[in-house]
Amino acid sequence: MNNSMELPVIDNQRREFFSQILTGLGGIACGGVLASLSACEPFTTKVETGGKALFDTIKDDPMGICNTVGNALVINLKDTNGNVFNNGYKIVILRRGTVTVPEYVVVSSRCNHQDCEVVAPAAPGENLVCPCHLSEFSSTDGTLLVGPATASLVRFNSSFDSTTKILTIFS
Ligand code: FES
């Protein structure tokens, strides 16, 4: 009598079958249905709770970092009541648009891997990098490009007043 346990053998046909199922699940996950299980989780926009912070693109950016399309400014802000914004994490103001018509996208600096904060790109258009384990995010919109992080940077709704040059960031 043979008491040894035999491990199930998965032949190539079954292996291919399971592979296709997993690939299919991955496709669904990237579409958001199973986003929490996915390594390609799409960005989420911060649910607004009524707070806001004001960023004067002239006075609050004396080095003119946001004058250059593709640049990003990583900064700590307080809200209009003087309270910490984004739970004390910095925000990242991504300069988009054109030289004459600025647009901005605002994301949190918090990397979801182990809560480190991304740093500004070394040059305009380069990726945002988390210094702890080198996850990378798009400097266009904070989309996750390289793990180990599993989610894009959380995005804040914002509005730019081209007359006052003030960017309002909603929290
Ligand atoms: S905390 Fe960002 S990659 Fe680990």
Taking only the tens place, the pLDDT of each residue in 152-166 is 999 999 999 999 999
Q: Ligand 1 pocket, 153 CB below 6 A?
A: no
pLDDT score of 128 more than 50: yes
> For ligand 1, what atom is nearest to the CA of residue 134?
3
Share of the chain above pLDDT 70, in %: 73
Closest CA to 73 of 142, 136, 121, 116: 121
Of residues 72 and 8, more confidence is placed in: 72
Residues near 164 by Cβ (< 8 Å), separated by ≥ 6?
none
Ligand 1 centroid from CA 133, angstroms: 5
Residue type, 59: K
Mean pLDDT of the chain: 79
* Residue 70 burial (CB count, 10 A): 14
Of residues 147 and 38, more confidence is placed in: 147
Q: Give me the residue spans of the domains in the chain.
A: 11-42, 52-170
Tell me the mean pLDDT in the region 93-116. Answer: 95
Tell me the mean pLDDT in the region 94-123. Answer: 95
For the 52-170 domain, the top CATH level (class) is mainly beta
